[in-house]
Structure 1
Amino acid sequence: MPNELLLADLALPSAVYGVHGAPGLTQWRSLASGTGLRGPYEAVEWACVPPGGLSGEHLHSRTEEVYVLLTGEGEALLNGRPQPVRAGEVILTGLGATHGLRNTGPDALSWLTIEIPAPRTVRLAHSLRKDATPMPLPDGKATIINLQHEKDVDPRCVLQGPLNRIRLLRLAPGQSEQLPSHGTEHTVFVLAGEATATAHSREVPIRKGMAVTTSGGESLCITAATEGFEAVCASFEILRRHHEGELAP
């Protein structure tokens, strides 16, 4: 698969009912998926529930997951413990943990979902042993981090997979930020403003509500327009497969 930029926006989201067994409507949009990426572990999605809406509580037995809250406020249920959350916060949910999310505010609650199969899931999928017995799930960790305050988060405090950085990217008018390749894929979701995203393969304008994702470890340069720019940037380490079936950076 050649290196390329993947573009997506929030136009024409799907209407989904009964997400994780919860009643009611969830709007959903896929922004990037494993079929378009060199690392087959990434899925980046947008979801939104109306006031009173719910994404049902569920166990993560195969994947790790990140919620980046974009608008609204609500209550997260992490390993059975309710905690208030709001836009600007990040929820990290590790393998073996449970989580759910309810909109308790007067406005829509929307978030990015970043889902990554856990390392042991990837190893099992590529195992040469057909009789391999899955190990018991760990006591999964889950936590909330304020991205507006921290600005730059290492999710490996909870997660074990290839997602190694989540940050709030703010650029002044005309300022540029280079996101290097070096075995890394990046996905950038625009929160405010406009910019130009430039890679070897192409140059594209991006604006609020759009996502641009590098495929195959291509470097990416973001240059803010005249009004400045703000985005969430998540970076993934691309793994390669050894001949014995193990995965390594």
Structure 2
Amino acid sequence: MGTVVNGERRRFGPISNDTAGLATTLGQIGGEGVCRWKMLMNGMHLEGHWNCVEYVVIEPGASIGEHVHVRTEEIYYIISGQALMKINGEVIPCSAGDLITAPIGTAHGIENRSDEEVRFFVVEVFPGEGGGLQPALVHLPGLAANNGSTDVDLKPYFTGDWRRFRLLEIAAQSHDDAVTTNSEVVHVLNGSASIHVSDQWHYQGKDGLSVALPPGTQRRISNAASNEPLRLIITEVAAA
């Protein structure tokens, strides 16, 4: 959102975080059992109408209770495991690679009835005008090209300033260069990433590294591994 000081709007630079140091929650939003949670990015520090970026782990037998967001729209991306999403009263199985959209007013909850943890990535963005949009489930691996990458246009699913969700795979010792058009959050799913930003900052990490970039930023994401692919997700939201 940026910050105003003495009438001047001051922007934030890049922000980095990871999935270490999760908080433990019990009976989250009226659910059952144990979940672990961390806010990766606070929307106040991002350009655009972001609310938050989160990482959640649901332990076997646990759940997050059904609830309705009255002020934010939301995506869930299942990183690993198998879960049951309850969306507007309908129970929908989902698994790794599924992207779930929840526009404003969607009743939703998630359960883990398996023997393994469910890990997922969450983004919330403030809505725009209008309504009446329906939630959806998109299985990204089914859309991925031979190079393991695909893009989802988020604009039809929401009223807010969502732009794009990308599943990006970078081959060993290769890289992806871009100048960001929107505000974006890069999150490493698997592999070893080296992210250079505007020749000023360098971030290096493996699974769970998250880096937020403001619009107009030159960045290079490199695969630091010699023999395995790097897999990431990138969420883009228009800057205000």
Could you tell me the TM-score, scaled by structure 2's length? 0.86
1:32 and 1:91 mapped to 2: Cα distance?
20
Q: Which moved more, 1:146-155 or 1:84-93?
A: 146-155
**Is structure 2 residue 136 aligned with structure 1 residue 143?**
yes
Equivalences, count: 222
Which position in structure 1 is the counterpart of 2:185?
Answer: 187
* In 2: Cα distance, 1:11 partner to 1:32 partner: 14
1:236 aligned partner, one-letter code: V
- Give the equivalent residue in structure 1 for 2:231: 230
Cross-structure match for 2:86: 77
Partner Cα distance (1:208, 1:39) in 2: 26
Query: What is the RMSD of the two structures over their aligned residues, measured on CA atoms?
Result: 1.7
Counting aligned pairs with the same residue, the percent is: 25
Corresponding position of 1:247: none
- C-alpha displacement of 1:142: 0.9
Is 1:111 aligned to 2:120, yes or no?
Answer: yes
Structure 2: unaligned runs, 5 residues or longer: 1-9, 144-149
69-78 vs 3-12, which deviates more?
Answer: 3-12
**Structure 1 stretches lacking a partner, 5+ long:** 121-136, 240-249
Task: Report the Cα distance in structure 2 between the residues aligned to 1:86 and 1:33, rounded to whole angstroms.
Answer: 27
1:21 and 1:217, CA in 2 relative to 1: closer, same or farther beyond 3 A? farther
The match for 1:215 is: 214
In the TM superposition, what are the counterparts of 1:1-249 in structure 2 within 5 Å? Answer: 1-120=10-129, 138-150=131-143, 151-182=150-181, 184-200=182-198, 201-215=200-214, 217-225=216-224, 226=226, 227-239=228-240
1:3 and 1:218 in contact (8 A); partners too: no
How far off is 1:163 after superposition? 1.7
TM-score normalised per structure 1: 0.83
The equivalent residue for 2:6 is none
Inter-partner Cα distance in structure 2 for 1:105 and 1:139: 33
